[in-house]
Copies of this chain bind each other. A is one copy, B any other.
């Protein structure tokens, strides 16, 4: 019997499941059961089996986050825009632990796809940084700094790694403020270098 399933529907169900029980517990067996089909049937949607499902989850996660980030940055500029982006990132990680795991986890073995996946988030960052007077080289450093911090901080927070009772919110704000100050100190830096115009990866 047809069940009216499609790839995206399945990915969303899997994502919810990952958020609830952790990505490691999203097995084809359990997923199939939740969907009311048998494990082998999943291969009609994911030729590559479990591995492909994980990759799709990773991609879906980045696309979702990218969407939220883009929305959050609209109508804001400079520091406000950056703070908004960072806040969205952190909240996304906290609200989608499983998906966020997938976004980092898949990347643990494979790689290429992940580079593409994060591209859009990076672009938004770059656009926001255009409002500052910075060289393209400086922009790359800055995006890398924020990206590294966001990923590490969110990952540690997500897994309860910050044991101290002191507010994690305050720490997050503190760090962002510190990094933003660093950007302000650069104002008046060198001019744009054409060589970087094309390559907005980070």
Q: Indicate whether A150 reaches chain B with its CB closer than 8 angstroms.
A: yes
Q: Indicate whether A175 reaches chain B with its CB closer than 8 angstroms.
A: yes
Contact between A145 and B149 (Cβ–Cβ < 8 Å)?
Answer: yes
Instruction: Give how many copies assemble into the complex.
Output: 2
Known: A111-B159, A141-B170, A179-B179. 16 other contacts (CB 8 A): A108-B159, A111-B160, A111-B161, A114-B159, A140-B164, A144-B171, A148-B149, A148-B150, A148-B156, A149-B149, A149-B175, A150-B152, A152-B152, A152-B153, A163-B199, A181-B181
Segment with Cβ contacts to B, from A36-44, A71-79, A99-107? A99-107
For the residues of A in contact with B, the DSSP-based class is helix
Q: Mark A119-155, 1 if CB is under 8 A from B, else 0.
A: 0000000000000000001101110110111111111
**A159-B107 in contact given A152-B150, A153-B152 (Cβ < 8 Å):** yes
- Assembly CA distance A174 to B185 (angstroms): 12
Q: Indicate whether A70 reaches chain B with its CB closer than 8 angstroms.
A: no
| Chain B: CB-nearest residue to A141 | B174
Which residue numbers of A lie inside 8 Å of B, CB to CB? 22-24, 101, 104-105, 107-109, 111, 114-115, 118, 137-138, 140-142, 144-145, 147-156, 159-166, 168, 170-171, 174-175, 177-179, 181-183, 185, 196, 199-202
| Chain B: CB-nearest residue to A97 | B108
A101's contact among B22, B108, B141, by CB below 8 Å, is which?
Answer: B108
